[in-house]
Amino acid sequence: MSTTITLTRDESLTRVGLPVGRGRSRFGALRTGALRTVVNSTSTGETRTTHFPHHRPAPLDRRPPATSLEVLLRFAAATEEMAAARGQLAFSAGRFGPRTPAETSRHLLTVFAQGTGGGGDVLPYWKMAASIRPLARIAAAGAESGLALDLPARLLEQTFGHAKVARFEDVDFPTTLTHEPTRRFLSGTGLPEDGSLFQLDTEIPLPTLVEYCTDEDTATELPQGTGDLIRLGRLAEGNSLVLDGRTGTILTWNEPETTLHLLNTDVSTLAFTLWLMHRAKTIDFDGEAGRVL
């Protein structure tokens, strides 16, 4: 069952409450750095993005995000329906795994293509929305694992390769790793050895942060409460990825500043983050809908 959202231009402006100016209505910065604004012509209904660079006083016209305000709102509504699994995207409710994001992406791309008249070129912004946002439907909320997410079996292997996913044995765990769901995840699912910004240590058993700092002579005094922390690997710019062996929380350890910062809820969200980053880099935004995943 599909739901079609139909709004006239005046109804659209009334229902979303956009501010009306003289001749044109400006709303919603779409990108930081240089101001990018959606501009709606009150005479034609056409929408376009206008770019206000910091070093130039005059705006530059850019490709319109949609042919009209009605189409723009329909695109945005379809994207939000995907996130909430309702309306025309209700078929994805309660469904997870690789097939669901692929089906959702194809549906969204079809909606966007129809919004261009069936033969127009879909703006890269909408291609990214249709390709990346449905990836959240890969993993369900944790129920079986005891962690934040239940990842599909072999998800990491299929993405990074069997030889590039490291699993640990009990002998690799220090005694401070008492969080059982984390122990099961590291021994059963594992983590990618090279997650772009993260390199997992696999040559030696996982050291505690105290052991690592002692061996590397990277700090003379550690903050209080670091006795349960375990070092997983290296991050960029002098940071380490550490695990709280008691709670399963993932943190970053800044070696030069000897400070800790929360990063992920647990190893399941860490693995999912690494998977998302890797997957996003391989998406062909210019390809047809069937090649999204």
- Total structural domains within the chain: 1
Q: How far is CA 178 from CA 169, 184, 210, 244, in A?
A: 14, 11, 17, 9
Q: What is the mean pLDDT of residues 27-54?
A: 46
Instruction: Name the residue with higher pLDDT: 71 or 170.
Output: 170
Q: Which pTM value belongs to this model?
A: 0.69
Please check whether residue 87 lies inside any domain of the structure: yes
Q: Where is pLDDT greater, at 67 or 227?
A: 227
Which of the two residues, 190 and 61, has the higher pLDDT score? 190
Q: Positive or negative CA dihedral for 189, 193, 270, 100?
A: negative
From the CB of residue 142, how many other CB atoms can be counted at a distance below 10 Å? 17
DSSP state of 8: -
Q: Would residue 174 count as lying in a domain? A: yes
164-209 tens-digit pLDDT? 999 999 999 999 999 999 999 999 999 998 766 788 888 789 999 9
Looking at per-residue pLDDT, the higher value among 215 and 232 belongs to: 232
| Any domain includes 243 | yes
Please check the confidence at residue 61 and state whether its pLDDT lies above 60: no
Tell me whether residue 55 is in a domain.
Answer: no
| Rounded-to-integer distance, Cα 122 and Cα 133, Å | 16
- What burial class does residue 50 get, using C-beta atoms within 10 Å of its C-beta: 0-12 exposed, 13-18 middle, 19+ buried? middle
Residue 31 lies in a domain: no
Encode 210-233: b = buried (16+ Cβ within 10 Å), e = exposed.
bbbbeeeebbeebeeebebbbbbb
- Is residue 199 in some structural domain? yes
Tell me if 182 is assigned to some domain: yes
Question: Does the residue 232 lie in any domain?
Answer: yes
Could you give the C-alpha distances from 292 to 54, 113, 122, 168, in angstroms and in order?
A: 35, 14, 14, 33
The encoded tokens of residue 28 equal 């919603």
Q: What range defines the domain where residue 220 resides?
A: 68-93+137-289
